[in-house]
């Protein structure tokens, strides 16, 4: 049943904070620079909290090999390394690792599907995704994804899942065990050397090579700069994010056609205009329209959501986000990673600057499909000095941890971390990238991507995007205190 703006305002007035927290996991993220009020500046006092008080695993220990700093008792293993490890077909592992998910494989193996965020012509990259016969969408494009098999004895195999796509970013897994890889680039045929239109979602089956033959864009999800996608296993909706600006991007919901039954290969049978693609129109507890999610400056802020139909989802003449007037829908800057958990979708807005009403260095929202509400769970103030360790900024890929709370991959300025947020909102470091791609005087550290746990919860996989390194992290994982 539709939740109208009037219903939402009435229920908010009656139940107060109960509406704000119902149906959520309570991840109210905080220190070192989260906002618990309208104050938009981080504090040194808050920064100290991220390392102590019984939260997390203790301080990070520098790595003598200069790859990954971890807490005491933890270790890492390099699974793939662009330009060093090789595919089964003999080519080097492609570069620019991004979104990743894990799946149970045959005979005790773990399968991972790994996006490669490679944009533009293949000649621009030393290690593009190889054009494996039968798996190519556009032979001019450099991106795609690979499937990585980690065997019980530690041996690794890797092969191409899809090739000839562009700027494959966060993506997302499905309840039936496949991967949806998203193009964060909407070049049309004839632009940047492309021979086909881009800006689509493709499905990749990690267990069945044959299912990936003759890649087909899932055009019903729309053509735009896709970032991530999740599937509601109960209601069947897909939720998608768009990482774009000028104007800011959108959060989408796709409703399948009536009677559609999900499963392996079922998306291929759908028409290009199947289902309904919609963008959100948010309003506060007083029924006032909210133009941009950056307006929320307090943890626990709740917005009701109406869904507005997209006029032309294939965007042949006008980009989808420009088909709406500013007063029609709610936008947000850098809509990036998503993860389904706790009965809803966690959604990241990585940062906001002058293009947004309010500046911040990261938000994580929780969309509750039952109540049709967005609740602000994580809000990071603008980091005053990203070159100093201790503060977190620029959340990107995220996952729900089997040990409680969230694990977040940092894509900010300066130092880059994997960090956790407990159910009560306290944050703590898990890893720090120590691979300096710059100089000692002006260090540069690539972002983390593809954070995801193994199906048994014992291994945390994550990527250093550049040059492209997949890492497996193990250690004394424990349920975090609230």
- The domains of the chain are located at 5-474
Q: How confident is the model at residue 424 (pLDDT cuts 50, 70, 90)?
A: low
- Higher confidence at residue 91 or residue 42? 91
- Evaluate if residue 51 carries a pLDDT over 70: no
pLDDT at 421: 86
Beta strand ranges found along 350-453 (DSSP E): 363-368, 373-379, 395-400, 406-410, 417-421, 427-433, 448-453
In the numeric block, the tokens 């980009």 are attached to 319
Q: 232: number of CA atoms within 13 Å, CB side? A: 20
Share of the chain above pLDDT 70, in %: 89
pLDDT at 41: 28
pLDDT at 28: 30
- Evaluate if residue 156 carries a pLDDT over 70: yes
- Evaluate if residue 434 carries a pLDDT over 80: yes
- Evaluate if residue 29 carries a pLDDT over 90: no
| SS3 assignment, position 438 | coil
Separation between Cα atoms, residue 228 and residue 251, nearest integer Å: 10
> Would the CA dihedral through 180, 181, 186, 191 be positive or negative?
negative
Segment 367-371 shows an average pLDDT of 97
5-474: CATH topology is Neuraminidase (2.120.10)
State the DSSP H helix or E strand holding residue 114, giving kind and residue range, or none if neither: strand 110-116
pLDDT at 10: 46
| SS3 assignment, position 267 | helix
Q: 3-30 as b/e, with b when 16 or more CB fall inside 10 Å?
A: eebeebbebbeeeeeebbeeebbbbbbb
- Candidates 184, 225, 366; CA nearest to 293 is 366
Are 97 and 464 in contact by the 8 Å Cβ rule? The answer is: yes
pLDDT at 422: 79
Q: How confident is the model at residue 17 (pLDDT cuts 50, 70, 90)?
A: very low
Asked, as a colleague might, if the bond just before 313 is cis with ω within 30 of 0, I would say no
- Higher confidence at residue 299 or residue 247? 247
State the DSSP H helix or E strand holding residue 18, giving kind and residue range, or none if neither: helix 17-21
pLDDT at 353: 95
Q: Bridge partners of 86? A: 92
- Evaluate if residue 64 carries a pLDDT over 80: yes
Segment 280-301 shows an average pLDDT of 96
Are 253 and 237 in contact by the 8 Å Cβ rule? The answer is: yes
Q: How confident is the model at residue 425 (pLDDT cuts 50, 70, 90)?
A: low
- 211: how many CB neighbours lie within 10 A of its CB? 15
| SS3 assignment, position 423 | coil
- Candidates 399, 461, 398; CA nearest to 111 is 461
Strands 75-81 and 469-474, bridge-based pairing? antiparallel
CB-count burial class (<10 Å; 0-12, 13-18, 19+) for 407: buried
């Amino acid at each position: 049943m539709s939740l109208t703006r009037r219903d939402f305002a009435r229920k908010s007035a009656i139940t107060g904070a109960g509406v704000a927290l119902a149906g959520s996991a309570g991840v109210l993220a905080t220190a070192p620079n989260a906002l618990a009020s309208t104050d938009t500046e981080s504090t040194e006092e808050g920064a100290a909290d991220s390392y102590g008080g019984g939260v997390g695993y203790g301080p990070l220990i520098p790595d003598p090999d200069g790859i990954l700093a971890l807490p005491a008792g933890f270790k890492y293993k390099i699974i793939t390394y662009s330009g060093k490890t090789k595919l089964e077909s003999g080519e080097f592992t492609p570069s620019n690792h991004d979104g990743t998910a894990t799946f149970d494989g045959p005979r005790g193996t773990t399968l991972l599907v790994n996006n490669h965020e490679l944009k533009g012509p293949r000649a621009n990259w030393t290690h593009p995704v190889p054009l494996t016969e039968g798996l190519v969408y556009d032979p001019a494009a450099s991106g795609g994804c690979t499937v990585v098999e980690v065997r019980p004895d530690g041996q690794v195999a890797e092969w191409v899942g899809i090739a000839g796509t562009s700027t494959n970013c966060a993506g997302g897994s499905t309840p039936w065990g496949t991967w949806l890889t998203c193009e964060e680039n909407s070049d049309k045929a004839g632009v940047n050397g492309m021979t086909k239109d881009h800006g689509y979602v493709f499905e990749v089956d990690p267990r069945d090579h044959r299912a990936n033959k003759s890649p087909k864009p899932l055009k019903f999800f729309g053509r735009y700069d896709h970032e991530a996608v999740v599937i509601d296993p109960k209601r069947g909706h897909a939720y998608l994010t768009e990482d774009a600006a000028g104007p800011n991007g959108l959060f989408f919901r796709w409703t399948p056609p009536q009677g559609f039954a999900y499963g392996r290969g079922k998306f291929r049978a759908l028409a290009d205009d199947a289902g309904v693609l919609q963008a959100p129109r948010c309003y506060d507890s007083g029924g006032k329209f909210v133009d941009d999610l950056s307006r929320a400056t307090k943890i626990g802020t709740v917005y009701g959501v109406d869904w507005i139909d997209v006029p032309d989802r294939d965007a042949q003449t006008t980009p989808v986000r420009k088909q709406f007037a500013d007063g029609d829908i709610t936008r947000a800057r850098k809509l990036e990673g998503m993860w389904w958990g706790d009965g809803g979708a966690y959604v990241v807005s990585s940062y906001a600057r002058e293009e947004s009403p309010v500046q911040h260095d990261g938000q994580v929202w929780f969309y509750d499909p039952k109540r049709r509400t967005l609740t602000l769970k994580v809000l990071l103030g603008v980091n005053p000095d990203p070159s100093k360790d201790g503060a977190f900024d620029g959340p990107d890929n995220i996952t729900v941890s089997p040990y409680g709370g969230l694990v977040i991959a940092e894509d900010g300025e300066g130092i880059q971390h994997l960090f956790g947020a407990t159910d009560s909102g306290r944050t703590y470091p898990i890893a720090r990238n120590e691979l300096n791609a710059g100089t000692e005087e002006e260090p540069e550290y690539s972002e983390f991507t593809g954070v995801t746990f193994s199906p048994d919860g014992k291994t945390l996989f994550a990527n250093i995007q550049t040059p492209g390194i997949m890492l497996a992290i193990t250690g004394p994982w424990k349920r975090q205190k609230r």
